[in-house]
Structure 1
Amino acid sequence: MASKKLSYAAVAAGLILSSSAWAESRDYVSVVGSSTVYPFSTVVAEQLGKSGSGKTPKVESTGTGGGIKLFCGGVGAQFPDIANASRAIKKSEIEACEKAGVKEIVEVKIGFDGIVLAQAKKAKKIDVSRQELFLALAKRVPDPAYPDNGTLVDNPYKTWNEINPKLPKEKIEVLGPPPTSGTRDAFAELVLEHGCQSFPWLKAKKDSDEALYKNVCMTVREDGAYVEAGENDNLIVQKLQINPHALGIFGYSYLEQNEDKVAAASVDGVAPTYENIASGKYPVSRPLYFYVKKAHVGQIPGIEAYIAEFTSEKAWGPEGYLSEKGLIALPDDERKKVAADAKSLKLLGKK
């Protein structure tokens, strides 16, 4: 009998696994990755379990980066079949996958989500710009005394009103995800980098000194103003209720699920509503994905059924059950194309 514990060395050496060996090893779909996509993925898994067509897929919230790392570990039943992601897979991750033998990846774009700045329900709602968020959270910022002369200093801001007198006279405390999170990556790109670029001399560094530009524009301060809450949005909600002066960073979908406990701040004058995110009016929105290991299709039962359920109109459509969880649907034409590509297992990078 084939061993149920397939060694990575054997897989890397190109050992061909029989269908029976795959089935004996695992008879359910394994999904890892983004905490933002986790609620959607879990509901899809539950729907499949209720249908009686197979075992309920196992979904784990590991963060986008951590999930893709597991996904890219290799081919075989000890490795996940699907990775959820709140950002697109990186070139470096694709290369890591290929080195481990994961050469055929199917990308499925599932919809949109907004990154929100949440507050306790009882807190006074604020409107903050992306420049102000950059100044509040970046490790190094332009010298407040001479912001346009090219001088950087360690972030000196302790309270919001030091950045803008119109903001609250409260200590800067923002609870957010760790570096392994796709939400953190997206926040750095859509908020911090955008705010950084509002200073022309820093924007110019992108071409003249890219290393400095990335270091300044994408690096979060480490002096306690930004608090890493792990891949646990529940913990952020709990802490916001205890400390109404703090802000929390997570996806719009999670805001929807906890609207009795938290509310959202506006960013650049725009509130994160379903309509504003779907139209692109809300400035901090991003697409969500899951990635499928094609080599596992036909070997691990249930993968094709999972893809079909997730990309069905009853699930991801504008009136589907995932919209009730906060997923912002793709436009009709794009949704139709993505569903067709997913069904045919169109490979990432193929036209």
Structure 2
Amino acid sequence: MKPFTVTSIGLAAVMAASISTAHARDQIRIVGSSTVFPFSSYVAEELGATTKWPTPVIESTGSGGGMKIFCEGNDLNTPDITNASRRMKPSEFERCQENGVTDITEAKIGSDGIAFAQSNENGPINLTREQIAMALLEKVPVDGKLVDNPYKKWSDIDSSLPDREIRLYGAPTTSGTRDAFDEMVLEAVTEEMEEYGNEAYSNIRKDGVYIDSGENDNLIVQKLKKDTEAFGYFGYSFLEENSDALIGASIDGVEPEPEAISSGEYPIARSLWFYVKNSHADDVPAMADYIDLFMSDKMISDLGYLKGIGLIVLPQAELEEWQDRVANRAKLQISDLK
């Protein structure tokens, strides 16, 4: 009998199998949006409490930061799932593809409004998106020309507004909430104005009026409780959880309320998502139970637990469509993002 030998091809296969087994893990790793974080955390805690799997590890890195880490590759040291408070960008999809992350499932979990909030020591206020843009943009039109923003107080923009210094706690550029705010407020206003050449403009002033407060929305909440003259913006769920201390401004005459957010009447409403790296499914078997739990009626329906902590649920037909797509692990295509 010939002695047993291993060819180079066979050895590679054995080593690959060994490495895969060595790195297989029970605990899911999740990154991404601070807005989706409370919902994802609730599902993670439920998974840990009701199944054999350990509670997933979730890092609040911001939507952009999460996408960057998620798309680094298929190695099991990379995240299994990334949360996002805006849809994946085509450029992010392409980066994933370039790094071999080619089998992604997209999950839409509900809607959210961006609350523009202040301490409830102040009275209710209605702001237009144009007033907010004029308060924050680096260049604003004065007498038909774009100049460095001269406004120091809200009343400088409109005499009907409070005689308070303009000061806003907001998200960094890695945040999906920042992306959505820029697009739905700053860019939506400027692309309709001749002074900007009818092109979107979102450069925020750098004189200390806008205070980058990191990815933690709870930090903005705490700052507003102390700095009662300031405004801040964050996901609606954080306003609902802190309604004893904060109030949201009406935007263009519409209150930040669930019905208005769900219908799209509230002008700063967006969708919430998570993205699944299907190549990890076999080596991280807990993923299937976590994903199924997140997309279940128990979590994201009109009677689901997540509605109770601020998620704006999808219309029933749309909810069922997304539940079906995720259950079948529909493969994301770049055409879906355009």
TM above 0.5? yes
Cα distance change on mapping 1:54 and 1:312 into 2, 3 Å: same
How far the C-alpha of 1:231 sits from its partner, in A, is 0.7
Shift in alpha-carbon separation, 1:277–1:17, aligned structure 2, 3 A? farther
Q: Deviations over 1:232-255 (max 9, x none)?
A: 112211111111110011000111
Q: 1:154/1:33 Cα in 2 relative to 1: closer, same or farther (>3 Å)?
A: same
The answer to whether the 8 A contact 1:131-1:198 is kept is: no
Q: Distance in 1 between matches of 2:95 and 2:177?
A: 21
Partner in structure 2 of residue 316 of structure 1: 300
1:229 match: 213
Matched with 1:209 is none
| Partners of 1:121 and 1:319 in 2: CA distance | 30
Q: CA offset at residue 198 of structure 1?
A: 4.1
Q: Secondary structure at the match of 1:218?
A: coil
1:282 aligns with 2:266: yes
- Contact (CA 8 Å) 1:34, 1:86: kept in 2 or not? yes
Distance in 2, Cα, partners of 1:277 & 1:23: 46
Which runs of 5 or more structure 2 residues have no equivalent in the other structure? 1-12
- In the alignment, what sits opposite 2:240? 256
2:278 corresponds in structure 1 to 294
Q: Distance in 2 between matches of 1:273 and 1:19?
A: 53
Aligned to 2:74: 75
The C-alpha deviation readout for 1:269-298, integer Å capped at 9, x for no partner, is 111011111111111000010000111112
Shift of 1:60: 1.1
Tell me, yes or no, if structure 1 residue 97 matches structure 2 residue 81.
no
Q: CA deviation at 1:53?
A: 3.1
1:55 shift after superposition: 1.6
Q: Deviations over 1:154-175 (max 9, x none)?
A: 1111100110000001100000
What amino acid sits opposite 2:134 in the alignment?
L
CA distance in 2, matches of 1:132, 1:333: 37
Q: How does 1:326-337 map to 2 (within 5 A)?
A: 326-337=310-321
Q: CA deviation at 1:19?
A: 7.6
Structure with greater Cα Rg:
2
Output the amino acid matched with 1:160: W
Distance in 1 of aligned mates of 2:203 and 2:224: 24
User: 1:197 Cα deviation (Å)?
Assistant: 3.2
Q: How far apart are 1:25 and its partner, in Å?
A: 4.6
> 1: CA distance between counterparts of 2:117 and 2:270?
17
Per mean C-alpha deviation after superposition, the further-off stretch among 20-29 and 263-272 is 20-29
Aligned partner of 2:172 in structure 1 is 178
SS in 1 for 2:83: strand
**CA displacement at 1:85 relative to structure 2:** 0.2
Alpha-carbon separation, structure 2, partners of 1:51 and 1:22: 26
- Quote how far apart the aligned CAs of 1:26 are: 2.5
- 1:68-106 deviation digits (Å, cap 9, x = unpaired): 111011102100000000001111111111121111111
Runs of 4+ that moved beyond 6 A: none
Percent identical: 46
Displacement after TM superposition at 1:17 (Å):
4.2
Separation in 2, partners of 1:176, 1:167: 20
Q: What is the distance in 1 between the residues matched to 2:21 and 2:34?
A: 28
Instruction: Give, in whole Å, the separation in 2 of the partners of 1:22 and 1:346.
Output: 26
Q: Does the CA contact (< 8 Å) of 2:154 and 2:164 recur in 1?
A: yes
Unaligned runs of 5+ in 1: 1-13, 207-212
Q: Secondary structure at the match of 1:322?
A: helix
Are positions 1:272 and 2:256 aligned together?
yes
Aligned length: 324
Give the letter for the 1:177 counterpart. Answer: A
Deviation at 1:23, TM superposition (A): 5.8
Looking at structure 2, the residues matched to 19 and 299 of structure 1 have their Cα atoms a distance apart, in angstroms, of: 12
| Residue from 147, 150, 167 that aligns with 1:153 | 147
Deviations 1:207-262 (A, max 9, x none): xxxxxx4xxx1111111111000011122111111111100110001111111221
Name the counterpart of 1:135: 134
Q: Residues 104 and 265 from structure 1, CA distance in 2 versus in 1: closer, same or farther, beyond 3 angstroms?
A: same
- 1:33 maps to what in 2? 32
The secondary structure found in structure 1 opposite 2:274 is strand
**CA separation in 1, counterparts of 2:24 and 2:284?**
9
